[in-house]
Structure 1
Amino acid sequence: MLASLLLAGCEQNTFQQPPPPKVEVAQPVQRAVTRYLEATGNTAPVRSVDLVARVQGFLQSIDYRDGDTVKEGTQLFTIEPETYKLKLDQAQAAEAGAEASLKQAEADFRRQSDLVARQAVSQATLENSTSARDNAQANLQQAQANTRIAQVNYGYTKVSAPFDGVVSAHLVSVGELVGVASPTQLASIVSLDPIYVNFTVNEQDVLRIRAEARRRGLTPSDFRQIPVEVGLQTEDGYPHQGKLDYAAPTINQSTGTLAVRGLVPNPNRVLLPGYFVRIRVPTDRTENALLVPDLALGTDQSGRYLLVVNGENLVEQRKVTIGPLDGGLRVIESGLAPEDRIVIAGLLRVIPGQKVDPQLKPIEQSAANK
């Protein structure tokens, strides 16, 4: 009986190995990924013009309200038109007199030509008649030029919008004398639709993009079809879509960057000139990229890594090279295979070399629950 009791006590003290910890694992998502060049820049108007007085006179009227959106040709200012209308009438009257003188000179020339043919007058008389006709024709041309100048000056008395846009506040008041010594600025007009987006690209990205363009056989005209996505500081994502419009022919040696410009439609005037904006431009596309949740990545002195469960359910630390975020997931450039099982939950409960009980789950569901 004593031996039986001792044997039972020994059995109760036997150590039992705890079960492996359960961890959530998932295989990387494999899908097509578009890579983007991201930059910051600012918006600028496609057209911006200072409206100036090109003739001298008193400002008679301001024909718009400050900040109005106007169409091309809308009258904005009127500068004392009566004086210039009288000058136009005077020039037209002089032109009519020159036309009458020319008709008389031509009639006299034809008459003298007939008389010379019949030898009724001398050749000198015909030469005098020819000279009078030519002078009358020159006087008419001068009068016609004076009329056109008077018409142009009369047109300058009405300052109109040169294109569709928004007019700034007026800088002069009604009754003020303008255009005395030099053209007087009356206001400014700015077009807002479409709008430019200016940004710069560093030299390394320029080399990479040009190499990709050569690989894909793109021509310079194809670059104008590359989309540009723009977002404001207060907006999520890049809701404004446009296209590349211009790239500088040379690199700025002082900054090592290339000046680039996009053209973005702006029908609702959400973008105003001078805004600071976020910009991204697609550069290339990978058809079978591998993606994992960003939270599954760890960092140590050697770089970024993932915890991978091998075929024996042992945890391995795998060094990886990461790429950009895409749809909430991180692109893995190298160090990972499509069939690998990565630890996506319980990272603090596992260490490399430990045996675990992997629980396979889809990445989208696990990433959404984080």
Structure 2
Amino acid sequence: MIRPSHALLLLVLAAATFSACDGGEEGPSLPPVAGKAPPEIPTPEAVDDAPASGPAKQAVATTGRFVGTVLPSESAELGPKMSGTLAFIAVDEGDVVKKGQLLFRVSPGTMKLQVDSAQAALEGALLARDEAARELERQKALAAKGTVSNVVVERAQANYDATNNAAQRAEVGVSMSKRALGDTTVSSPINGVVSRKLKNVGETVTMMPPTVVLVIQDQSALELRVRVPEAQLKTIRPGGQVVAHFTAIDVVRPATISRIMPTIDPVTRTIEIVGEVDNSDDLLRPGMYVEVEIGPEASGGAAAPAAGKEAAG
């Protein structure tokens, strides 16, 4: 038999247990995680897959500046016409020379003696020919009188022909020896300035392999060379105008496109254009750094039709 005190205790415990089960279904919560919250994953924005409009997508810059250089319009590397020793140099670096002006001379050696010898041989041949001519006339006169036979006249004629041929060969010999003597001197083939002097008096020079003694350059007009992207072919034309900026000396000058090279570099996809720059005031120098500005004037005043477009209508 259960005592009343024990029954009361059991009822109290049962009520407490039921109350705890009814209010704690979720159970105890976990403690918060220490540290920063994980980064949020960005949501990608929508991308417009519609293609760009034709003109905006295919637009290519047709103006800009490109780095180039300038070269002399004419340049000549001069060497001797015969091997020998330099006996005389008439100019130095920086000297202005005219076409036909004497520049240097190679020691003639025995060339002068050869000219004298050929001249003496010619004089002897001419005397022999004159003598043979007189003998031929005398024999012809005797044959006309019947004093000598025609055989004698024919012999005199053959002698004259031989001496005449010898005289002609002697004349050629004189011309050749004089030309050889003239080959000891070298003159300037162009108007220009001596840009380099590579040899001095007393040095040995050869014709083969050729020895360069002087370099002459015509710097009155310079040749502008610059490589531009192939897209520039849409606008540039021979005869068009570009602007050359010589930044080192703060000089700006117009240049005329003289020609466009026929090939494109397959590696850089660039093409070389050549222009002419006036240098009559002698401010510019070959090899100078230059920035070439290409604008609408490079087309030569006539707009080129777009390639691949059909005629309207």
Is the contact between residue 68 and residue 166 of structure 1 (CA under 8 Å) also seen in structure 2? yes
Show CA shifts across 1:131-153 (max 9, x none).
Answer: 33333232223222222222222
3-state secondary structure, aligned to 1:149? helix
- Relative to structure 1, the CA distance from residue 167 to residue 253 in structure 2 (aligned partners, 3 Å threshold; closer, same or farther) is closer
Deviation at 1:276, TM superposition (A): 2.8
Deviation at 1:167, TM superposition (A): 1.8
Deviation at 1:267, TM superposition (A): 2.0
Deviation at 1:233, TM superposition (A): 2.9
3-state secondary structure, aligned to 1:53? coil
Deviation at 1:47, TM superposition (A): 1.9
- What is the CA RMSD across the aligned residues, in angstroms? 3.2
**In structure 2, what is the equivalent of residue 251 of structure 1?**
263
| Amino acid across the alignment from 2:165 | A
- Relative to structure 1, the CA distance from residue 137 to residue 39 in structure 2 (aligned partners, 3 Å threshold; closer, same or farther) is farther
Count of aligned pairs between the two proteins: 237
- Relative to structure 1, the CA distance from residue 132 to residue 41 in structure 2 (aligned partners, 3 Å threshold; closer, same or farther) is farther
Give the whole-Å Cα distance in 1 for the aligned partners of 2:193 and 2:253: 21
- Counterpart among 88, 103, 125 of residue 76 in structure 1: 103
Counterparts of 1:225-304 in structure 2, within 5 Å, are: 226-234=240-248, 239-248=252-261, 250-252=262-264, 254=266, 256-280=269-293, 282-283=297-298
- Counterpart among 191, 200, 203 of residue 176 in structure 1: 203
Give the whole-Å Cα distance in 2 for the aligned partners of 1:194 and 1:169: 19
- Counterpart among 116, 121, 133 of residue 106 in structure 1: 133
Show CA shifts across 1:307-365 (max 9, x none).
Answer: xxxxxxxxxxxxxxxxxxxxxxxxxxxxxxxxxxxxxxxxxxxxxxxxxxxxxxxxxxx
- The unaligned stretches of length 5 or more in structure 2 are 1-61, 302-313
Is the contact between residue 164 and residue 191 of structure 1 (CA under 8 Å) also seen in structure 2? yes
**In structure 1, what is the equivalent of residue 148 of structure 2?**
121
Moved more, 108-117 or 60-69: 108-117
Give the whole-Å Cα distance in 1 for the aligned partners of 2:212 and 2:124: 39
Show CA shifts across 1:28-54 (max 9, x none).
Answer: xxxxxxx96754322122222222122
Is the contact between residue 39 and residue 201 of structure 1 (CA under 8 Å) also seen in structure 2? yes
Deviation at 1:253, TM superposition (A): 6.1
Identity %: 28
Show CA shifts across 1:97-140 (max 9, x none).
Answer: 22222323333333444444555433333333333333323222
Give the whole-Å Cα distance in 1 for the aligned partners of 2:145 and 2:63: 92
Counterparts of 1:82-101 in structure 2, within 5 Å, are: 83-101=110-128
- Relative to structure 1, the CA distance from residue 208 to residue 284 in structure 2 (aligned partners, 3 Å threshold; closer, same or farther) is closer
Deviation at 1:180, TM superposition (A): 7.5
Q: Which has the higher strand share?
A: 1
TM-score w.r.t. length of structure 1: 0.54
Deviation at 1:81, TM superposition (A): 3.5
Is the contact between residue 36 and residue 284 of structure 1 (CA under 8 Å) also seen in structure 2? no
3-state secondary structure, aligned to 1:47? strand
| Amino acid across the alignment from 2:224 | V
Deviation at 1:181, TM superposition (A): 5.9
Give the whole-Å Cα distance in 1 for the aligned partners of 2:167 and 2:212: 36
3-state secondary structure, aligned to 2:104? strand
Is the contact between residue 170 and residue 187 of structure 1 (CA under 8 Å) also seen in structure 2? yes
3-state secondary structure, aligned to 1:162? coil
| Amino acid across the alignment from 2:257 | L
Give the whole-Å Cα distance in 2 for the aligned partners of 1:48 and 1:132: 55
3-state secondary structure, aligned to 1:45? strand
Give the whole-Å Cα distance in 2 for the aligned partners of 1:40 and 1:115: 91
Q: Does 1:40 align with 2:67?
A: yes
TM-score w.r.t. length of structure 2: 0.63
- Counterpart among 153, 160, 168 of residue 133 in structure 1: 160
Give the whole-Å Cα distance in 2 for the aligned partners of 1:244 and 1:113: 76
- The unaligned stretches of length 5 or more in structure 1 are 1-34, 211-222, 287-370
- Relative to structure 1, the CA distance from residue 111 to residue 261 in structure 2 (aligned partners, 3 Å threshold; closer, same or farther) is farther
Is the contact between residue 45 and residue 196 of structure 1 (CA under 8 Å) also seen in structure 2? yes
Give the whole-Å Cα distance in 2 for the aligned partners of 1:146 and 1:127: 29
- Relative to structure 1, the CA distance from residue 89 to residue 52 in structure 2 (aligned partners, 3 Å threshold; closer, same or farther) is same
Deviation at 1:188, TM superposition (A): 1.8
3-state secondary structure, aligned to 1:240? strand
Is the contact between residue 132 and residue 163 of structure 2 (CA under 8 Å) also seen in structure 1? yes
